[in-house]
Amino acid sequence: MKVFIVYAHPEPKSFNGALFRTAQDVLKQTGHEVKVSDLYAMGFNPVVSRKNYNTVKDPDYFKPQIEDMYATEAGGFAPEVEEEIRKMEWCDFMLWQHPLWWFGLPAILKGWVDRVFAMGRTYGGGRLYENGVFKGKRAMLSLTTGGPAEAYAKGGFNGDIHAVLRPVHRGILQFTGFSVLAPHIIFAPVRLRDDQRKDILEGYARRLRQIEMEKPVDVGEY
Ligand SMILES: Cc1cc2nc3c(=O)[nH]c(=O)nc-3n(C[C@H](O)[C@H](O)[C@H](O)COP(=O)(O)OP(=O)(O)OC[C@H]3O[C@@H](n4cnc5c(N)ncnc54)[C@H](O)[C@@H]3O)c2cc1C
C-alpha cells in the first residue's frame, strides 16, 4: 500500500513519537511505501487565510470555500497546501498519530484539516460520504489519552471514546469518502510502566503488520 502518516506531537521523545516511529519502521519493513507529514517539525501553519492560495477569486470578501473552489479550477493552492492534498490523493491508507487534546485533535492537526481538506478538491458537488472523493481509501486514528480506559467506556467518567471520536471519523474522514478502521487507542500511557509501554509498541507493530487485511468499522452516525 501507499501509506501517508500525519503526526502531531511537539515532543519527539513522547510516547506518540515512539508510536509514530514504530509505524514508519513496521510499514516500511512490510513492503509499504510511506510518506509522512510531521506537522510540528514542518512548522505547519494551521491557520486558514489567503495564504492558502496563490489565486484570488474575490479580493473584497474572503470566503474560504469560494476561494477553495476557484483554486481547485485554477490550480491555485499554495505549495504547502498542494503538497499535503497530493499526499492524500496518492495514498491508499492514511494514518494519523496524535494525543487527544480537549476531546479532539491538537490544533495543528485540526488546522491542517481546515487548510488541506479543500472544497472542490476533497469534497463537494455531491461527492460526499459513500460517493466521497477519497472512496476506496482507508484511514485510521492512532491516539493516546490522559484518562484511563474506564473513564472512556460508555457511561464512564468522560463518556464513550467512540462518541468523542465521531466528529473526526464521521465528519472529516467518512465525509470525504475514507473508510475508517478501528482506532488504535492507548489510554493513559503516562500511568504505565516502561515494560508495559514496550509491550504496547510491540502490539501496535503486530497490528500494523496485518493492517492491509483489516475491514472498516461502523463509526455510527448522528
Ligand atoms: C492541551 C491538552 C489537552 C488535553 N486534553 C485531554 C483530553 O481531552 N482528554 C484526555 O484524556 N487527555 C487530555 N490531555 C492529556 C494527553 O492526551 C496525554 O498527555 C497524552 O495523550 C499522552 O501522550 P504523550 O505521547 O504526550 O505521552 P508522554 O507523556 O510523552 O509519554 C508517556 C511516557 O511514555 C514514555 N515513553 C516514550 N517513548 C517510549 C518508549 N519507546 N518506550 C517506553 N516508554 C516510552 C515517556 O518517557 C513517558 O514517560 C491533554 C493534554 C494537553 C496538553
Euclidean distance between CA atoms 74 and 94, whole angstroms: 27
Where helices occur in 38-106 by DSSP H, the ranges are 39-42, 64-74, 79-90
Return the pLDDT at 143: 99
Return the pLDDT at 43: 98
Compute the average pLDDT of residues 118-127.
Answer: 97
CA atoms within 13 A on the CB side of 27: 24
| pLDDT single digits (tens) 124-162 | 999 999 999 999 999 999 999 999 999 999 999 999 999
- Dihedral (CA of 97, 2, 179, 202) sign: negative
| pLDDT single digits (tens) 82-117 | 999 999 999 999 999 999 999 999 999 999 999 999
Q: How far is the CA of 11 from the centre of ligand 1 (A)?
A: 10
Whole-prediction pTM value?
0.98
Residues β-bridged to residue 207: none
Q: How far is the CA of 15 from the centre of ligand 1 (A)?
A: 6
Question: Which residue's CA is the closest to the ligand 1 atom numbered 15?
Answer: 146
Helix, strand, coil % in the chain, rounded to nearest 5: 45, 20, 40
